[in-house]
Amino acid sequence: MNNLRFSMVSNELGAGHPRSALFSMVVAVISGFLMGLVFSLILMITRDHVEPVLSGVAVGAGWQRVVAYVNLACYYILGIPLGLILAFKFDLGTKMIYKTNWNTEVSVVEDRIMRWGGDTKS
């Protein structure tokens, strides 16, 4: 659903509608937050009845120590370094969306469309 909303942002930018792009971005962020909140609440409420399958199997087999090591390794050895590399080495860090000038973004999109031989009139 959020991918659809984010594609709406690009569609609105391409159409030259900065306010609609901003609205689409706000809807995507709020809906993503609400879905995450709802699913988190469901998992917290049903925590005694619902368990992730693979870690549940491992814990049931008495491999709690292995599960703990795998979780730590995935987070500290893989997750954090990968996040840092993607953020700083490949310049994929976070961008402050709330500071985005949507009128400027529309101009950038129109320039790209013109450069690639498209029509900016809709």
Could you state, in order of their start, the residue ranges of all structural domains in the chain? 1-50+101-122, 51-91
Residue with tokens 């400027």: 104
Q: Is residue 66 within 8 Å of 58, Cβ to Cβ?
A: yes
| C-alpha 106: how far from chain center | 22
The per-residue pLDDT for 96 is 67
Q: Is the pTM of this model over 0.85?
A: no
Read off the pLDDT band of 13 (50, 70, 90). confident
Residue 35 in tokens: 């879905």
Judged by DSSP in three states, 21 sits in helix
Q: What is the pLDDT of the chain when averaged over all its residues? A: 80
The per-residue pLDDT for 95 is 64
The tens digit of pLDDT for each residue in 58-69 reads: 777 787 888 788
